Amino acid sequence: MTWNQTHERYRLLNEAEAELRAGGARRLPWSPAYADAFGTPERLAQALRHRWRIRFQAQLDPALSQEDYEAAFAELLADLAPLMGRIGTHEFREELADASA
């Protein structure tokens, strides 16, 4: 994958996430540009899941107290779970719990 292709994929991921966050999209956005970059809606959803999982893991500091860790977990879950629900991924809470363990 070239730098230009990578840059375009990140731009499209940002665009898809922004559309989901705006609340206008009740499901995964899709267009010819997404098809060119990701091939299928499933691969776009997979890329978004990966991005959110990494973000989740990066923002949870294992050095936090149990109380602060649980509060951070709840805050991140509240931010990301609705997005995952919009793209048809309802087991996200369990996935994130496993990823943070």
For 76, other C-beta atoms within 10 Å of its C-beta total 18
Which token pair is 73? 């977990």
3-state class (DSSP) for residue 74: helix
- Report the half-sphere exposure of 34 (CA within 13 A, side-chain side): 18
On whether the CB atoms of residues 56 and 74 are closer than 8 A, the answer is no
pTM of the entire structure? Answer: 0.80
CA-CA distance, 46 to 41, in Å (whole number)?
Answer: 9
pLDDT digits (tens, 9 = 90+) for 29-63: 899 999 999 999 999 999 998 998 888 888 888 88
